[in-house]
């Protein structure tokens, strides 16, 4: 999660610069369109990673990938649902994440809502790959 947080911070800073620099002035913190723009940029990072490679940078480091319920690629709609419900999970003091501790298949609220799940990618056998 730390890996993705650092990338998202950098991405949001660049996205904000695309708006602030041409405007030549600050954007008020309560500006609704700017907040929505930043949220879309944030979602876009995850959506593109989940949709195209089934992994964010952080997920690659931990050897997990995101799949739809039947093992296929995650749809764009599922990325929206997953992202929004993850926010709700966090806003509920992390209850949506803690849910996975009690759910038989270890799914969070955003897994359940988006019909997705994480799968662990087994380590490559170094002895086999060198032959």
pLDDT digits (tens, 9 = 90+) for 94-105: 999 999 999 999
Examine residue 105 and state whether it is found in any structural domain, yes or no: yes
Checking if the pLDDT of 128 tops 60, the result is no
Examine residue 130 and state whether it is found in any structural domain, yes or no: no
Nearest Cα residue to 40 out of 73, 11, 3, 2: 11
The predicted structure's pLDDT at residue 6: 95
Examine residue 34 and state whether it is found in any structural domain, yes or no: yes
Examine residue 69 and state whether it is found in any structural domain, yes or no: yes
C-beta separation of 54 from 65 below 8 A: yes
Domain count, the chain: 1
Torsion sign, CA atoms 90, 49, 115, 81? positive
Question: Range of 105's domain?
Answer: 2-124
The predicted structure's pLDDT at residue 114: 96
Distance from C-alpha of 104 to C-alpha of 1, rounded to nearest angstrom: 23
Examine residue 129 and state whether it is found in any structural domain, yes or no: no
Examine residue 131 and state whether it is found in any structural domain, yes or no: no
Output the pTM of the full model.
Answer: 0.86
Calculate Rg over the CA atoms of the chain.
17
Q: What is the pLDDT of residues 19-62, one digit of tens each?
A: 999 988 888 878 999 999 999 999 999 999 999 999 999 999 99
Examine residue 19 and state whether it is found in any structural domain, yes or no: yes
């Amino acid at each position: 999660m730390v890996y993705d947080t650092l990338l998202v911070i950098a991405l949001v800073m660049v996205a904000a610069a695309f708006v602030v620099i041409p405007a030549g002035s600050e954007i008020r913190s309560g500006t609704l369109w700017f907040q929505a723009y930043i949220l879309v940029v944030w979602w876009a990072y995850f959506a593109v990673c989940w949709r195209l490679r089934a992994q964010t940078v952080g997920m690659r480091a931990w050897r997990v990938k995101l799949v739809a319920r039947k093992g296929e690629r995650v749809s764009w709609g599922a990325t929206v649902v997953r992202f929004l419900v993850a926010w709700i999970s966090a806003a509920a003091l992390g209850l949506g994440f803690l849910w996975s501790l009690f759910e038989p298949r270890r799914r969070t609220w955003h897994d359940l809502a988006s019909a997705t799940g994480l799968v662990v990618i087994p380590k490559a056998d170094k002895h086999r790959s060198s032959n």
